[in-house]
Amino acid sequence: MITAEENIELTRVGRGTLMGNFFRQFWLPVCLSSELKADGDPVRLMIVGEKLVAFRDTEGRVGVFDHRCPHRCASLFFGRNELGGIRCAYHGWKFDVTGKCLDQPNLEDKSKYPAGTPAIAYRVKEQGGMVFAYMGEHQENPPELPHLEAIMAEGDDRNIVLTHRDCNYLQALEGDIDTSHLGFLHVGGVDSEKLDLNDPEVFTVKEKAPKINVSEMAYGTMYSAQRDAYEGTEHQRYAHYIFPIWVSYPSGDLDTNITANAWVPIDDHSTMIFNIDLRRASGGGKKKLMYKDGTPVGGLARPLEYLPNTTDWKGRWRPTKDLTNDYAIDREWQRNGDSYTGIVGVPLQDQMIQESMGPIVDREMEHLAASDRMVILTRRVMLDAARKYAATGELPPVAHRPELAKDARGGDIIVPYGTEWLEGYEEKMAEIKGYRPNLSAAE
């Protein structure tokens, strides 16, 4: 259990809060590269409670600013993105993507008011089709981008899906590391008698109470869900939490499953999910699990539908189905047993659960159990790391050595009965990558 005070520490993300200050020391994805056009319209963003404006200049460079012009605090969202910079509509002050002031046309004598008054601009990088911003204190010498496979892999064949959720980032992230809910929320309506036993994921359908193994790692935390499989074998299902807001989640065989979710806080009550999947984009992966009526469990045949994006601070990537229409729940579909939830698709099922908890879960009301070991450990690791940073300025090892997370891959494997869970993972990853990863416990 955590206390009310600890819950506040973990869930508040604004500047000056424990977790908000911690998150700002890492690169955070803020939008898709494709959302910004050269000399196109500025885009409103809200990240960890800060109102920002993003734009791409004439040469294709990206700027991410505090939206207020440093002159009179008018919003640069209404500015003109032109000829290598953004010009405030109020008095014409112009700034390049670094925040440097290029022009102050309303000043007769610029010597009396020093030219170069900068906008508050954050460091920006683009990688894997996404724009990342660093909002921390080391703007002149920021850390490297996270070295997750889903981000750093070569090529443009990623499938990246953004989705807004009306809840705090932590309860959303915790859905990714709570493995036992899969057997109920997502595959509870699957007919176990009609499974393809060549697909290792079927064991998550047949055995709904796995043994949960967890470990603290140099990059965060790791779990496996352990189940009996074929005679003399076990099924292991792995996932990783990676500082500060990443999960490499299981969604198929470990060989091909290159995935990551970023649970980016918009503010205390809203989250933007960056779902990155190389396996589905390349056409690989497992056979689809089906409900009794033939509907794919993953909902891939009926993907999320979105409302038109607006220019509001929270107007991007909002699903059409939400709490206002009960996520289009089909009670008859749920009642007749074809579907456990009556809701189509894994993303919408997760959204329903996470938003139903309210904007921020009152964690004093929880009654955690052995199935929640990964959630319990991850909360402690996050809280300890943020408190250590607040007290000493020291960040987890992965902040300065992002390569520590490059072999953190989620997925399923079958191993001989009695194989130690971490040993099984390292052996399989050595087979996949040609070298044995060093995934020992936290340094």
Give 209-255 pLDDT, tens digit per residue: 999 999 999 999 999 999 999 899 999 999 999 999 999 999 889 99
Instruction: Report the C-alpha gap between 274 and 31 in whole angstroms.
Output: 9
Q: How far apart are the first and last CA of the chain?
A: 26
- 41-to-67, 68, 79, 238 alpha-carbon distances in Å: 14, 16, 9, 42
Is the Cα torsion angle 385, 391, 397, 401 positive or negative in sign? positive
Task: Name the DSSP class of 319.
Answer: B
Question: Residue 332 corresponds to which tokens in the numbers above?
Answer: 């008859």
3-state SS of the chain: helix, strand, coil percent to 5? 25, 25, 45
For residue range 176-210, what is the model confidence (pLDDT) as tens digits? 999 888 888 888 777 766 676 667 678 888 888 99
Cβ-based neighbours of 126, under 8 Å, separated by 6 or more: 33, 62, 132
Choose the CATH number for 27-142 among 2.102.10.10, 3.30.300.10, 2.60.40.10, 3.40.50.1820. Answer: 2.102.10.10
Which residue carries 């996050």 as its tokens? 382
What 3-state class would DSSP assign to 114? coil
- 183-to-205, 209, 327, 352 alpha-carbon distances in Å: 5, 8, 20, 16
Instruction: Report the C-alpha gap between 427 and 323 in whole angstroms.
Output: 44
How remote is the C-alpha of 311 from its chain's centroid? 22
Is the Cα torsion angle 296, 373, 355, 258 positive or negative in sign? negative
- Overall fold of domain 150-433: Naphthalene 1,2-dioxygenase Alpha Subunit; Chain A, domain 1 (3.90.380)
pLDDT for position 59: 97
- Please tell me whether the overall predicted TM-score, pTM, comes out greater than 0.85 for this model: yes
pLDDT for position 339: 86
What is the block-wise mean pLDDT of the chain (443 residues), using blocks of 10 residues?
95 98 98 98 98 98 97 97 96 95 85 74 96 93 94 84 97 94 83 68 84 96 95 95 97 91 98 88 54 64 82 97 96 89 91 96 94 96 98 96 95 95 96 85 50
Instruction: Report the C-alpha gap between 381 and 374 in whole angstroms.
Output: 10
Residue spans of the domains in the chain: they are 27-142, 150-433
CB 279 within 8 A of CB 257: yes
